[in-house]
Structures are given as C-alpha cells and as structure tokens.
Amino acid sequence: MSRARLILLNAALGPLDYRVPHGMAVEPGSIVVAPLGPRQLVGVVWEPERLPAEEVGDNRLRPLVHAYDLPPLGAPLRRLIEWTADYYLSPLGAVLRMALPSSGALDGARSITEYRATGHVPERLTPQRAQALERIGERLGLIRELAIVGGVSDGVIRGLVKTGAIEAVEIALDDPFPLPDPDHDPPALEPAQAQTAAELRAAVEAGDFAPYLLDGVTGSGKTEVYFEAIAQAIRSGRQALVLLPEIALTEPFLKRFAARFGTEPVPWHSGLRQAQRRRAWRAIASGEARVVVGARSALFLPYPRLGLIVVDEAHEASFKQEEGVQYHARDVAVMRAKLEQVPVVLASATPAIESRHMAEIGIYKELRLPDRYGGARMPDMAALDMLQDPPPRGRWLAPRLVQALEENLEAGEQSLLFLNRRGYAPLTLCRHCGYRFQCPNCTAWMVEHRFTHRLACHHCGHVMPAPRACPECKEEDSLVACGPGVERIADEVHALLPEARTIIVTSDTIWSPAKAAEFVARMENGEIDIVIGTQLVTKGYHFPNLTLVGVVDADLGLAGGDLRAAERSFQQIRQVSGRAGRGERHGRVLVQTHDPGARVIQALVGGDAEGFYAAETDARREAAMPPFGRLAAIIISSEDQAEANATARMIGRAAPRVDNMAVFGPAPAPLAMLRGRHRFRLLVHAARAVPVQDVIREWLGALSWRNSVRVSVDVDPYSFL
C-alpha cells in the first residue's frame, strides 16, 4: 500500500501521513486534499525522509480525498519552504500558504461569474445604492469585492443586480497571457550599460547561481540593463521574476515593460481581484507566465522554469515582512536563486550596508553604473540651517525653500516636498489643560487627518472623529496641532502660493495601482505644480519636468535612533533627491535640518556616499552589529500586562548561556502597547558563528506559556518597535 506524508495548510499542524487510494498518483510536490477530523484541508506531498512525523500504522491511515490536476511544486521551491521555515522559526504550513492560492484557484473551472454596473439607474436610488454605484464605477468583481469597493453590504449589491443596475458577466479565467517579445523595442544602451547588460545576459544563459549587486545612481539606467537580462530569460524559454517594494510602483513598471517588450508582464500583488489572482497563479504554475512582477509575496510562487530573479530598490525596508512569517524578501530571493541555480540581481541606487558588505567580501558581484543615463547631471544639493534661517512661527518651510518653489512655479517646472509623515499633525493637544490624544490600543499619539476630519492611529488603524471640545477639560476650540504632516505642509503651500496646483501623495491617497497611474498621468500632463509626499514618492517615478526637491525635515528619520536610522535617512533623502532633474533641465535639492553638521547631512550635501558608507560600516563592525553580528528579537505580548511581563521574565530567566551571545531584556518594547496588547521584548545579540535559530528553538521549545500570551521571534529584525 502506498502512503504519503503531507504538509497541510494549517500552521498549527506538523506533518501527517495519509493513505494514497488506489488509482490516485501523487509524488513529492503534488497538491492534494486530505481529511482532518470532519474537515478537508489542502496540503502538499513531501519527501517523508525530510520531515520526521509520528509513525502511524497503515491500518490507521485515512485516505487522501483528491489530487489536483496541477504541476507539483518543484524540489527547489520545497527546499526554499523548508529553509524559510527553519531560518525564520516559522511553521512549515504558514510558509507553504504563501506558495498556494486560495483553493478556488486550484479547481479546474474555466470561467467565473463577475459583476459590473450597466449604467442603468434603479428607480429606487437609496443613498447606499448611489454610493455603491458611484464608487464601483466601471470596476468588475465578485459580489463581495464590489461590496467592499462600494462600502456597502453584499445585500445592497444583490439588490442592484435585481434592478438591473448591475449585471452578471461570465469571465473566461484561463485566457493565455500574451508572450513578451524580447526583440520588440530594445533600447540603444550607452557603453557602460551595454557591458553590464552583456554580463547579465551571459549569466542568464549559463543558468548558474550568481548574485549581483547592480549599483547605480538614480537615473543611471538600471532598469534598461536588467530588462536585457529578462529578454535573455525569455529567449531561453525561462521565467523571470521582478520584485518591487510597493504595489504603487507596479503601474509605472508595467508601462515601461510594455514599451520594451510589447506587452505587460503578469502582475502579482494584494490589489488583484480573486479572478486575476487565480489566472496569474495558474499561468505561473504552468510556466506560461514568462515575466512576473510583484510584491514580496510573488517570491514563493511555483515557477517551474525560473531563469532570473530581480529585486528592484533592493535596499527598501518594505521587503521585510513584519507579520506572520517575518521574512526578508531580499534575502529569501537570494536563497531561492541559489536553490534554483539561477542569477539574482539586487538593483539599488543606495544599496544596504548588508548588500555592500557581501560585495566587498566577494560573495556578490558588484556591477556599477556610474553616470546618469543620457548625460543628465546629479542635482545640486544644499542644506538649509533651520536655526540660522528659520521659517516664521507656525510655518515649516524656510524662506529660501519658499523662494525656490516660487521660482520653479514661475518657470513652469514641477517641485516635490518630501516629509515622511502622513496626516496633518503628529500630535494633537489641548492648550488649556495639556491633554494629549493617545490611541486607546497603542503607545502612540493619534494623528490628525484634517481632510477627513478624523484622528487616526497609524499603528492599529483606530480612528475617531476630531472632537470640537477637549475630552478632559471640556474647553471648546482648545485643541492645537503640534508639528507638521504632509497635509499641514499642503496648507502652508496653499497659503503662500495660492495659484500652485498641488497633490498629496501618501498611502492615504495613492492606495491602488490605478490611483498611482492617475497620479503619474496628471504629473505627465503638467496638471500639478507641487507634489507633497511621504516615502511613497521617493522611488520609481520619473518626471522629467520635476526640478526641485525640498526635504522638509531631514532630522526626522534619525529620531528613532535604531541600528539603521542614519542609513535609512541617507537612502531616503538620496532616493528622493534622485527625483530631481531627471530630464534635460538641471535639478536642485534643498534639505532642511537643525543639524547641518551631522554626518548624514554632510555626506548628502557633499555627495560623499562612499565616506558615509565607510563610516557607518566601521561603526557596525565595531559594535558587532549586522552584517558583522546577528540580532533576533523575541516579542512577548498579551492583553494582560502582568501576564506578558511575567512570561517575558520567565523566558528571560531561562536564557541559555552561549559563548559570544548576549540576551538583553526583557524590557517594554518601544511600542509598549500595540492593538490592545502589551508588549515586552528580549533582544538576542550574537556573533555570526552562533547558530542563533537553533539556540532560540531549543530555548523556547523547553518552555510553555498560556494561550493568551503570544511569543514571536523576529530573526534579523528591521523594526525595533
């Protein structure tokens, strides 16, 4: 009789054995359905020798229910899932879930019923119906998806279907994706680009593991270069994967790709409708989707013929997933490339210190693109000392920056003001009694969003209407906003330059690829004079008429003081500076700071990236911080503070004594309360040679705590909150 060992899509379960019924053929990687108690779960067949499980006699095994008619997950992907679970101390089932779509996509159905508005207005137009129809517009989707878009219940949408205002349409699900043409419109590359492109093409052709750091200032043409490697992958009949840090960047990427290859690549991100996800997943699994561009979750999809991985803007912290499996997509991408035996390109204008170090010790090969493409020069940078030349009281833009904005407006050129803070003001307090609005669930101030008349917590999403009176002393109109957010800067711009046409670009306003496309179109059509944005505008966009960048508060990123604060500030300001002067006109960047002598500011203004990196790297080496040492955070949380504290101390007391390893804490985490849970943190700091994961696994594995306590381990943490 034949048996199969499975990993089921349930993080709480270990591997389980099943009987393979007569007539069903499975192999490692096969996607199957198995019974579990009264339920049925999707799972994947695994090599039994790789996963120890409790031995169960043949006579006690339950039979598999079904095997899907899909290609099995390949061995390299299975090894990647094992590695990720092991390295990030996560359950196999939780990692496996990232490789599989929802079960609907596994079935063979070839069409799906979706719905769309017909344009017919129902006789009884309730406010809810009107709102739903307005928000749905020309969108297509399942009843549930349209209900979410419309902000109404499923019932309202069903009612609209009955009146004929919304109609059902059959959508064919498995239409093939058009094949990108590697020879559609190849660009004329400059010599440095051509040489780099040739090297990458050869690497794709060779089909071996080869990690590259593609380092070039913004505007140096990195994308054109790695497009040539993608072209080679297509010619060789292989698949290519491009990871981007933000879904907002997907839309401009799709356009650029289509211009080069004649058709768009297959996108993969959280903004896809269920039907789109299903079609993309099946095309990826069959090998038919040749080039996939996606957010970090695209990394675990079952590409059967992967030939190349590109991680664009590879220094971005958003490649680190902070919930569930806390993996870093850049690092996992390198591991996948190694297991698949393919090249991987980490592209960045401001590579992370970790990546530069790997290049320095010869593990990554560094490819440098020195000049701006087309001979455009880097922008001029200057620091504005906010103590010497401060803005008037209650304003945030220094006179010189305002003057530069005016000049740009008169010249008909576009400007960008960068402030990495959403909303109107980061803190609201009562001037009468000093009351401060704090989130009831988190150790965080409520941020005023003036356009929506609400206060919001940026950590848990808690919102409340902005009150007129102080909740403490009941004084009316006593609330004052402290400090600026982008909305407040926009107000200041309106007051100073009323004729300027502005747009605020944050995750509150650009929350879908469609919104991003709209923003790009308005910029390109010259409908906007001044962009006021958060880190969302620092990368990817290319606006030739944008010639002035103002950094509103260069000191902001340094306030957190964590390991990467200076590096992150440097990267962010370099990136945003790279938006200026990407066309024929020369760009300039004005950086507002209270500390013009700070190393970061000096390096930025002096254009001394090398000096900055060298000093930062030395400091990390001296403190044995990553990449020269290792960190892991253990976060203990509970709704009950005493319980969280007691558990954290119990775990701390049990810390093993290991050479070259120190355990700090427990201490209340900087975000001591998050989403109603009290949080304590232990920080493990060890030399590179210490097998930190094994140590932690053994340490925590010997302990137990109540179900109401959550203990999560963050290996190589990025957020120190």
DSSP bridge pairs for 418:
533, 551
Between 314 and 457, whose beta carbon lies closer to Zn ion?
457
Between 108 and 440, whose beta carbon lies closer to Zn ion?
440
Beta strand pairing call for 365-369 and 210-216:
parallel
Between 376 and 457, whose beta carbon lies closer to Zn ion?
457
CB of 394 to Zn ion, least distance (A): 20
Between 421 and 685, whose beta carbon lies closer to Zn ion?
421
**473 binds Zn ion per the rule CB under 5 A:** yes
Between 470 and 709, whose beta carbon lies closer to Zn ion?
470
* Helix, strand, or coil (residue 171): strand
- Is residue 197 within 8 A of residue 225, CB to CB? The reply is yes
Q: Which stretch binds Zn ion (CB under 5 A): 211-219, 286-294, 462-470, 641-649?
A: 462-470
Q: Is the dihedral of CA 640, 645, 650, 655 positive or negative?
A: positive
CB of 45 to Zn ion, least distance (A): 43
10 Å CB burial of residue 699 (0-12, 13-18, 19+) is: middle
Residue 350 is inside which H or E element, if any? none
CA distances from 646 to 40, 663, 668, 710 (A): 39, 17, 12, 13
DSSP bridge pairs for 635:
681, 712
CB of 468 to Zn ion, least distance (A): 12
10 Å CB burial of residue 49 (0-12, 13-18, 19+) is: exposed
CB of 427 to Zn ion, least distance (A): 14
Q: Which stretch binds Zn ion (CB under 5 A): 218-226, 329-337, 465-473, 499-507?
A: 465-473
Residues from 664 through 703 that contact Zn ion (CB under 5 A): none
Between 409 and 446, whose beta carbon lies closer to Zn ion?
446
Q: Which stretch binds Zn ion (CB under 5 A): 317-325, 459-467, 510-518, 651-659?
A: 459-467
Between 382 and 433, whose beta carbon lies closer to Zn ion?
433
Between 116 and 710, whose beta carbon lies closer to Zn ion?
710
CB of 445 to Zn ion, least distance (A): 10
Q: Which stretch binds Zn ion (CB under 5 A): 44-52, 88-96, 130-138, 461-469?
A: 461-469
CB of 668 to Zn ion, least distance (A): 16
* HEC sequence for 115-158: EEECCCCCCCCCHHHHHHHHHHCCCCECHHHHHHHHCCCHHHHH
Torsion of CA 253, 256, 258, 259, to 10 degrees: 180
CB of 458 to Zn ion, least distance (A): 8
CB of 459 to Zn ion, least distance (A): 5
Neighbours of 551 (CB within 10 A): 28
Residues from 229 through 288 that contact Zn ion (CB under 5 A): none
Among 254, 470, 590, 682, binds Zn ion (CB under 5 A): 470
Between 286 and 441, whose beta carbon lies closer to Zn ion?
441
CB of 671 to Zn ion, least distance (A): 9
Residue 277 is inside which H or E element, if any? helix 274-286
Q: Which stretch binds Zn ion (CB under 5 A): 21-29, 173-181, 468-476, 539-547?
A: 468-476
Between 89 and 460, whose beta carbon lies closer to Zn ion?
460
CB of 439 to Zn ion, least distance (A): 3
Between 441 and 512, whose beta carbon lies closer to Zn ion?
441
Among 305, 462, 585, 649, binds Zn ion (CB under 5 A): 462
The per-type count for the chain, helices as H runs and strands as E runs, is 19, 29
Closest CA to 309 of 234, 223, 221, 211: 211
Task: Give the rounded distance of the alpha carbon of 16 from its chain centre.
Answer: 33
Closest CA to 346 of 445, 211, 256: 211
Cis amide leading into 627 (omega within 30) = yes
Neighbours of 402 (CB within 10 A): 17
The owner of tokens 């505007």 is 219
DSSP bridge pairs for 171:
112
CB of 476 to Zn ion, least distance (A): 10
Between 477 and 694, whose beta carbon lies closer to Zn ion?
477
CA distances from 627 to 105, 348, 692 (A): 40, 18, 14
Task: Look up residue 483 and give its DSSP letter.
Answer: S
Question: For Zn ion, how many residues bind (rule: CB under 5 A)?
Answer: 14
- Binding mask of the shown chain, residues 418 to 457, with x at each position contacting Zn ion by CB under 5 A: ------------x-xx-x---x-xx--------------x
Between 144 and 474, whose beta carbon lies closer to Zn ion?
474
Between 335 and 442, whose beta carbon lies closer to Zn ion?
442
Closest CA to 378 of 567, 544, 229, 589: 589
Between 232 and 428, whose beta carbon lies closer to Zn ion?
428
Give rounded-to-5 percent helix, strand, coil for the chain.
Answer: 35, 25, 40
CB of 335 to Zn ion, least distance (A): 34
449: left (phi over 0), alpha (psi -120 to 50) or beta: beta
CB of 245 to Zn ion, least distance (A): 24
- Is residue 12 within 8 A of residue 91, CB to CB? The reply is yes
Torsion of CA 97, 103, 105, 108, to 10 degrees: 140
Among 6, 242, 416, 460, binds Zn ion (CB under 5 A): 460
CB of 673 to Zn ion, least distance (A): 8
Task: Return the structure tokens found at 55.
Answer: 């031995």
* Helix, strand, or coil (residue 320): strand
Between 323 and 610, whose beta carbon lies closer to Zn ion?
323
Among 256, 365, 459, 697, binds Zn ion (CB under 5 A): 459
Q: Is the dihedral of CA 665, 667, 671, 674 positive or negative?
A: positive
CA distances from 203 to 206, 242, 261, 336, 345 (A): 5, 16, 20, 16, 10
- Which letter, b or e, does each residue of 655-684 get, where b requires 16 or more Cβ atoms within 10 Å of its Cβ? beebeebebebbebbebbbbbebbbbbbbb
CB of 642 to Zn ion, least distance (A): 21
CB of 430 to Zn ion, least distance (A): 3
CB of 676 to Zn ion, least distance (A): 8
Between 158 and 436, whose beta carbon lies closer to Zn ion?
436
Closest CA to 66 of 44, 33, 31, 23: 33
Chain residues binding Zn ion by CB under 5 A are 430, 432-433, 435, 439, 441-442, 457, 459-460, 462, 470, 472-473
